[in-house]
Amino acid sequence: MKVGLGGNSKDMRAIWLINGEVRMIDQRRLPTDLSIVAFSDVRDVAAAIRNMTIRGAPSIGAAAAYGMCLAALKGANLKEAAETLKSARPTANDLFYATDHMLQQIKDKKDPVEAAESYVQMIVDHCTRIGEYGAELINDGDRVMTHCNAGALATVDVGTALAPIRKARDQGKKIFVFVSETRPRFQGMQLTAWELLQEGIPHSIIADGASGHFMKSGVNIVIVGADRITANGDFANKIGTYEKAVLAKELNIPFYVAAPVSTFDLDTESGDKIVIEERSPEEITKIGPMNIAPVGSSAVNPAFDVTPARYVTGFITERGILKPMEIGRMR
């Protein structure tokens, strides 16, 4: 991803491994500060996942892969390390997929650094292919809507939902992106808009509640990411995704979900079995230290919702564009 504007821009990933340390962009401080944090202990990597220093399903998976690598290099108890990582957040399939993948690789006596690096590169390669397939769905002049951040920050590099947008722009298509702000943690406004700005892709931030208004008056395609996709094609993604999918069907707007193999949970039959993370009510009632709700009112804060498969036009994957009934091919 391009970081920094104009002549000062350079390429950077959301997370990387160097000299026995995991380094990552602290996504809680964007867009105001580009701050890099470093960890050398798997417990600190798990804490960074939990407190959302790093977030987004494939990036969480990459953090888990590097975390397992640190544990192996230090000779730590790998079962404990895997449990610590897996308990950091419950919904994104990638966290469990990457941790189990690394456990197997280490059991098979693979070099932990090489195993983690090849896992992470696989994710980036998958995202690149998602971009190539997805760009075919975007026409010159299209107005695209996305939700949350499914960009390079969420996937190490390139993005899932943002990959087709980047690729379409590279192909010379003139596109415009509606970015819903994504209450309560503002991943759309603070992260997606930041990424699009770095790349000079025209966009506007809209309030979450404005999606219907703009979809009615001219959105050509909606593309979102996913945290977990079950065998029947239901999927969990950032809270607020479900209502966009329902609106898209009502308004005949194609609704696509972009995700790599690591996000597919084909052992789980349907979306009602997905564990939805509940986060602190204070993410809703406060902005920073400041209370913005009446003291004494309660708030509930599910981080994700589940959209039924019938609202999905297709899944954009590294293996092509699949209808919900075709996702068995991801096995």
Site residues (vs ligand MRU, CB under 6 A) = 55-58, 92, 148, 150, 154-155, 160, 187, 225-227, 237-238, 303
Q: How far is the CB of 56 from ligand MRU (least distance, A)?
A: 4
For ligand MRU, the closer CB: 48 or 72 = 48
Q: How far is the CB of 304 from ligand MRU (least distance, A)?
A: 6
- The first and second tokens of residue 150, run together, are 């499914």
DSSP string, 112-123: HHHHHHHHHHHH
Of these residues, 94, 157, 227, 265, which one is catalytic? 227
Active site (annotated) includes residue 227:
yes
Q: How far is the CB of 75 from ligand MRU (least distance, A)?
A: 31
**Please, what's the b/e burial string for 3-22 (b: 16 or more CB within 10 A of its CB; e: otherwise)?**
beeeeeeeeebbbbbeeeeb
For 15, phi then psi, to 5°, come to -155, 145
Nearest to ligand MRU by Cβ — which residue?
225
Q: How far is the CB of 179 from ligand MRU (least distance, A)?
A: 12
Q: Could you give the dihedral angle defined by the CA atoms of residues 91, 147, 117 and 78, in that order, rounded to the nearest 10 degrees?
A: -20
For 14, phi then psi, to 5°, come to -70, -25
3-state secondary structure of 254: coil
Residues 23 and 37 sit within 8 Å (Cβ to Cβ): yes
For ligand MRU, the closer CB: 81 or 236 = 236
Q: How far apart are CA 137 and CA 120, in angstroms?
A: 26
Q: How far is the CB of 233 from ligand MRU (least distance, A)?
A: 16
Residues 247 and 273 sit within 8 Å (Cβ to Cβ): no
Cα distances (Å, whole numbers) of residue 171 to 140, 185, 209, 256, 319: 9, 32, 32, 20, 21
Omega before 31 within 30 of 0, i.e. cis? yes
Residues recognised as catalytic: 227
